[in-house]
Every structure is written in structure tokens, then in C-alpha cells.
Structure 1
Amino acid sequence: MKRQALSLPLLLISSLVGASNAQQLNSNTLNLVRARMNQSSTASWEIGTRIQTLIEVDFSSMSVFSSNYLTPTPPSAQTLNPVLDIARRVVNTRSGKQLVQDGSAADPASIGVGVLLGNWTRAPGANWDTAAEDQLDALLNGTPRSVDGAISHRTEIVQLWSDYVYMVPPFLAYYGVLTSNTSLISESYNQIKLYRKYLYDSNTHLWRHITTAPIDPAGPQGVGDAAAFNFNDTGYWSTGNGWAAAGMLRVLGTIKNSPYSKQFDDEQGDLKDWIGDVHNGMTDNLPSSGVFYNYADDDSTGADAASTALFAATVYRAVTLYEPGHYGDIVDAAERAREALYANNGTVHFDGEGWLQPVVNPNSFHEIGAQSPEGQAFVLQMDNNWKEWVSQGSKSAALGRMDLAAASGLRMLVLALVASLLVVW
């Protein structure tokens, strides 16, 4: 009788511990997520995202989000081999000025940070400096631009994609800082500003996905089948908003943690505001499920866990990078998104092989697909950034919510204990 009565509090404790554990992914699942990312990242932007993810997760001191990423003496290239091996293979198999020839002017540049890191650390086995210079020249001088200077995401005509903000501006900013070229740092900011001009909707605080802009007649006129890419996607693609926020954060971190921080103080202020706009717009569209729709405001487009992970990753990163005071509600939304993806120890949104589910088809963004290499990377970024946020004290309204939950659980335990003692009595 006594054992039965006293078991109630123990069961409650067990259930509370289980609920807490359900909000995290175990190491086995995270290892599977990483393995799937590594094996499936073959397109240029997937390779670039994989490189960036490995830098942030495994070599955080070399990430632009670290205040010490510009060490007086470059680190040993050997320690960075997991990243540099990927970039080295790209450099040694390239067939033109771009790091990869795939029709996009922007996506190959996403690999550029890995190439620049190889050059800075003087890693053997590749002609890093020429590869980086060629990729930069292809962007600045070989790609069509809009009449006001926006570099096209595509090589055929001037098309502006929200994805571009993750692919090109971080490369320009990093190149500028490493070479003390403030013009490139300015250009990284200017490109974001121009893209925002064309794609940002102030009514929804969201970025549209794709638009076509008038081409500058004095510059390159494009190559390839322009008619095939003469289309717009004016919807609020959730992943595109994540790409934009994540790219702006990388440029912000690159500048903030560089010797040029004070020189670009106003630009940093703009970037913080623009990132906040995206986070506000996405938070306003977070469904009760905690998982975003493929197009943020359209439930008919289906749930997409990849953009959900990227949204949460960028929120945690923003808070740890500059801790804006108004981020309470937004962090709460990020927590809801992460907890939804991690529900039941990840068994809801991860299959037995570690694939995130459901996800948009990376090659056909209107469709829900089966697997997403970038989605795998977004999960690793989210998990890493969340753990960093927790380690810094979880400075947000979510902390208060967690305290309230703990207090509520404690009250339940006390009441149960009293009840059990009364039964014994």
C-alpha cells in the first residue's frame, strides 16, 4: 500500500524528466543527421552550406560569429582538414572561373569561404588564391547586374533570389576582411540592401522568393537560356526567408568581429533591423504545430521542417550575437519550432536513417520532397546555436517560461506527495 502510494510522485518525476529529454536530440540521431548531410551534399549551394555548418559546429573559433576568428597567426591547416578537404576537391576539379559551373552565379560563391580559409591557412594541395580571385571576378565582372547594381543570382538574366543573401554577401565580406579591402565589405552590405529593395514586403515583413530586374546594358548580358529562367516566384518561401536572415547574420558577424566594426557601425544597425524584420514576419506566421508551411502564409503548400530548423537557428544566433532586447517573443517562437522538431526524442520529424521530415524538394521549391541535404545542415546549425544560447544563460522570455514550467512541475510533485502521504495516513 505504501509503495503504491509513494510511487505517484516518482512517476511524475519520471514523466517530467522524460518531457525534458524529449526536447533534445540524442547524439546518435545527431550523428545520423550529420552523416546524411555529408553523403548527400553534392550541389554547389549544398556543399557551401555543409562547409559553413562544419565551421560553425566543429571549428567555432574560426566561425565569423567568434570574436577571435581573425587570430594574429592563422591556425594549422591540418586541424581544419575536414573542411578544407571538401573545398580542395572543388578547387582541383573546377573547369572555369566559377568554383562550380551549374548555371547559378551565386550558389558556387557559397563555397568561397572554405577556399579563402584554405588560402589564409596556407593549406597544401590546391591553388587557393587563384580559385578565390577567379570566383570573385566571375561575380563582380562576369555576371549580369540590374540597372542599380544588384548582381544576378543566375547567369542568364538578372534574377534576384532570396537564397543569394546566404551565398554571395558572406563571401564578399569575408574576402574583404581577410584582404583588408573595405570596398568588398561595403559591397556585401550594398548587395543585401539592393536585394531587400526588390524582395522585401514591408506589409508582411517577409521576403518574396524571386523577381526579375532590368538588366544593366553596360554590363554582361548573360549566357545560356534566358527564357528558361524568365519567371518570378513572388510567394513568401519560408526557406528563402531563412536564407536571407542567415546570410545577413553571417555578414553582420564578419563585420562585428573584425577590425572594421566601428567603420561599419551604421551598416550593422541596418542589418540588425533587417534580420529582426524577417524574424518578426516569420513569427507572425508560425502555425500552432510549430512547423512552418513551405510558403509561410499558405497552409496549402504543406509543412516544411527544413525552414523551421533554419528559422530557429537564426533566432538563437541573433540573440547570442547581439542580444536585441525585443527578442523575447521571437525566441519563444524559436523554442516552439525546435521543440516541435524534437518531439518524442525526434521520432516525429526524423526517420530511422536521420533524415529530417517533411522537407521541401531542394530542386523544386513548390513541392514537398523526400530528402533535403540543406535541411540536414539546418538541423545541425539549430542544435549548435541552441546549445550556445543555453550555455550563455538563455537570455530571453523563454527562460521565464521554463522557470514557470519548472515551478508548475514542482507544485504538482508537492501536491502528489501530500496526497500519497494522506493515503498512507
Structure 2
Amino acid sequence: MSEQNLESVVKRVLTYTITIDRQRDDWQRASAMSGVLACGDDQEVAVVKGWLDRAVATQNSQGNLSFSEPEYFPAGSHVGRATPHGPLSSSFGYPLLELHQRTGDARYLEAAERQVAALMRAPRTSDGGIWSHKDGPELWVDFVYMMCPFLARFGTVTGDTAYVDEAFHQFDVHVQHLVDPQAHLARHAWRETPNSFPQSTFWSRGNGWLVAAAVQLLELCPDHEKSRWLADAAVRTLSAMARHQDRTGYLRNILDDPDSPLESSGSVMFAYAAAKAVEQGLVDPELIDAAVRAVRVVSGEVSEDGAVRGVSVPPGGPGVPFGVTPFGQGFFLLACDALRKPLGLPG
């Protein structure tokens, strides 16, 4: 694909992303917001501002920025119903703080303060890990991304380092329970009681959530006392993901299953995190080649109207359908933004 064509693909993805139809705002739109804020022009950013204005206007009495209604997942998945609380709606917090820093609008910071309070009130495991949903004492790898960068960014914006410390603590607890010490890859979900893995595969997007959160934390707080430990953990997982990359450039939905289908969202999340890790001096610059191959092969999956296809839909893991999702759109844009120079995109 030529550089000019890839630039055209990015524009089509932006157009589709800002017009994607969802009945109500939810966590899936958060990464789409970040992608548009990274790559969009003034008109496209104005659409995201409208989404976030609506999220603030509908922030509920508990402080949650989205409607936070229970999600029902397909039969046979590791969860039948998930009743959201502070961690899920915290996914909106990171783009909300980006908009606050761009505009200086105090409403956005006030909304973030209410959201972070809701997050801090959430139930926890015995070692302080915040539950993924109200229905059980579980930690899911997705929530490392939804919670930790928001907590760290809120702490840096307000100067309250307790929130930065909480971000690193949540990352630590989730790694201890979810990352296999031999494979260096994260499992999907851990349940405290009984001590078990309701879904234990090494899911590509799950590992993508983990490494994307890590590079954002290190970008925000490179000098934190736990930053060296976090960087080492991130490099081990990123390197393990790279070893499972298919010759096409894709990652498989289940990383270590050669019969698992090739999947788009985990592939571009890997590309985004790899690019950031190279920029931060954490990994060999040669990993950029793997990141570029991932973005280029996924760009071939983009439809004429800009839909990034081939994404495993929630709750992810094995056996779920593939389709188009807001977070797939968002991470394609984030990966392209992080790889502008090697992809030949305008800066």
C-alpha cells in the first residue's frame, strides 16, 4: 500500500469513527475518542468534544461518566452479565483530561474528579485490586487500560501523587494475578473466590490492553519509583507478543494457538505499544518493523467507508464473533499516529 493510500485510509477511518452508530455511550467509545483526538482535524475533534460534553451532562449521581447499564454477553463466554461501576466508566477519563488540558475548561476536570472518586470507592480484592464489575471479585486485564492511565493523568494534572501511586499499584496487582511468569503473557480474567481463571487464554487484545496501558503510564510518569519494574514487565510481555506475530503482520486472536484466526485490534494495539516503547528507549528499534507490518496488514482490512474489520467483539477471547468496534477504530488511529514517520504519514 502506498503512503498516499495509507493517508487516505486514515482519513476514511476517522470519518467512520465519528459517525459510528451506538445506541448509548459506553466504554467502547473511549479509545475511539483518544484516536480521533490524536489524528483528527478541528471538525473531527469537535465531534469528540460533543461526545464528552454529553458524557459530562449524563454523569450519574455515583460519578460514572457513561450510562453504566449491565452488559450481557453471548452464551458460552466467561461472563453472562457484567454490572458496571467506577472502573468501566473511568475509560472516559483519559480523553476527558486530554480535552481539559487542550481547552482549560474546568467542567471537564470537575467531572474527572467525580469519576475518580467513583473509581476509588469500588470494591477490591484482598490485595487491593479493583474489581472489574459488581457481580464478582474478579480482575480483568482490560481494566488495566481503563483505570491506570486515567488515574496517573489525574494525579499529574492535579499534583496529587496518591493517584499516580494508585495507578502503579493497580498495574502491579493485575500483573501479579494475570501474567504467566513463564510465558510473560496475560490471561483474560482471574477470580479471587474461588481462586480460578474464568477465562485463561492468552488473548491478543487483552495483552494489547496491558502493554498500551504500560507505555502510557511510562509516558506520564517516567520517574515513578515503580517505573523501572513496570517497564521491565511491559518489555517482557511486548517481546512475548512479538514472538507470536504471524508472518502476515497480524497477531492471532489467541496468541499461542496456531489455529486461532488473525485479529485486527490486538495487532494494532501491539503496534501502538511497540512504537511507544521504541520511542521511550525500552526495546530494540528493530521492533518498529514489526509494528509497521501490523498496521499495514490491518489497513488492508479497512472497508471503503472506513470500518476496521476483523475485530473480536466483547467480551473477547476464544469463540466470539468478529466485527467492527469503536476501540478497533481508535487503536488503528493511535497506532498510525505513533508510527507517522516510519509509515510515511504527514506529521
TM bracket, shorter-chain basis:
0.7 to 0.9
SS at match of 1:375: helix
Q: Which residue of 2 aligns with 1:404?
A: none
Tell me how far 1:356 sits from its aligned partner.
2.1
Distance 1:207 1:139 in 2: 23
Q: What amino acid is aligned across from residue 95 of structure 2 in structure 1?
A: G
Asked whether the 8 Å contact 1:204–1:281 carries over to 2, the reply is yes
Q: Which residue of 2 aligns with 1:398?
A: none
Indicate yes or no: 2:117 matched with 1:131.
no
SS at match of 2:168: helix
Compute the TM-score of the two structures, normalised by the length of structure 1. 0.69
Distance 2:176 2:215 in 1: 18
SS at match of 2:9: helix
Distance 2:132 2:156 in 1: 23
Indicate yes or no: 2:138 matched with 1:183.
no
Tell me: CA distance 1:327–1:138, structure 2 relative to 1, closer, same or farther (3 Å): same
Indicate yes or no: 2:317 matched with 1:317.
no
Q: What amino acid is aligned across from residue 234 of structure 2 in structure 1?
A: I
Distance 1:329 1:118 in 2: 34
Alignment of 1:3-402 (within 5 A): 21-22=1-2, 25-40=5-20, 42=22, 43-58=25-40, 81-96=46-61, 97-100=63-66, 101-102=68-69, 103-105=83-85, 106-119=87-100, 121-123=103-105, 127-141=107-121, 143-214=122-193, 232-256=198-222, 261=223, 264=224, 266-320=225-279, 322-324=280-282, 326-342=283-299, 346=300, 349-366=301-318, 367-388=320-341
Tell me: CA distance 1:79–1:308, structure 2 relative to 1, closer, same or farther (3 Å): closer
Cα deviation 1:135-160 (Å, max 9, x = unaligned) = 1121112x110001001111222211
Q: What amino acid is aligned across from residue 47 of structure 1 in structure 2?
A: R
Tell me: CA distance 1:232–1:92, structure 2 relative to 1, closer, same or farther (3 Å): same
SS at match of 2:198: coil
Over the residues paired in the alignment, what is the CA RMSD in angstroms?
Answer: 2.8
Distance 2:55 2:326 in 1: 18
Tell me: CA distance 1:364–1:243, structure 2 relative to 1, closer, same or farther (3 Å): closer
Compute the TM-score of the two structures, normalised by the length of structure 2. 0.84
Tell me how far 1:187 sits from its aligned partner.
0.7
Bigger mean CA deviation after superposition, 236-245 or 81-90: 81-90
Residue-pair matches, total: 324
Tell me how far 1:117 sits from its aligned partner.
4.4
SS at match of 1:26: helix
Q: Which residue of 2 aligns with 1:6?
A: none
Tell me how far 1:186 sits from its aligned partner.
0.7
Tell me how far 1:350 sits from its aligned partner.
2.0
Structure 1 spans left out of the alignment, 5+ residues:
1-20, 60-76, 216-229, 392-425
SS at match of 1:137: helix
Tell me: CA distance 1:357–1:85, structure 2 relative to 1, closer, same or farther (3 Å): closer
Structure 2 spans left out of the alignment, 5+ residues:
70-82
Asked whether the 8 Å contact 1:33–1:380 carries over to 2, the reply is yes
Tell me: CA distance 1:115–1:355, structure 2 relative to 1, closer, same or farther (3 Å): closer
Distance 1:308 1:48 in 2: 18
